[in-house]
Amino acid sequence: MEIKNHLLQQARQLQSPNYGERPEGEQISLLVIHNISLPPGEYGDPYIDHLFLNQLDCSLHPYFARLKELRVSSHLMINRAGQITQYVPFNLLAHHAGESSFEGRKQCNDFSIGIELEGCDEEAFTQIQYHMLAEVTRVLLGSYSGITPERITGHSDIAPDRKTDPGPCFDWSLFRSLLENE
């Protein structure tokens, strides 16, 4: 895998309108792992893309009503089959972390990259998702020196009162072992 001009060359590219400039001089120094499925626990539909592109038809499912005014994005999403979609170039700020704090620093969106895994708190992620996440993470570690293995965290760790993802089914040991050994 390769990053050119802050774009992962192997990813499908869909440009989200939900991004901003990082604060001047800000170094990318954190990787945040998330999970997402729309509706919760359902996979393989276009609703995640639609949410990040502000194109979600909120009349299609009762759960979507709560998402009507939401304007969010992530840098990447890895679906259950391992396909990667990039919504925001890495040098730009994606709206993935919300109110958050890491090592005393607030506003994690300012200095982080967010990766969504298609999934939920109650189900195991697929092996291909772990392999792709490890491969992407290695490329990010090599491209953005501020990100180190110690600066990879879950959304639940930076927003513990609000978020639970990537959830108890995310196997951190497996992910870290793939990161070191592949």
User: Under 8 Å CB-to-CB from 58, ≥6 apart: which residues?
Assistant: 64, 65, 67, 68
d(CA 76, CA 114): 7
Which of 21, 69, 99, 116 is an active site residue?
A: 116
Among candidates 175, 154, 176, 174, which has minimal Cα distance to 165? Answer: 154
Tokens of 114: 């967010």
Q: Can you tell me whether residue 68 is helix, strand or coil?
A: coil
Omega into 17 within 30° of 0, i.e. cis?
A: no
Confirm whether 123 is a catalytic residue: no
Burial class (CB in 10 A: 0-12, 13-18, 19+), 61: middle
Active site residues: 116
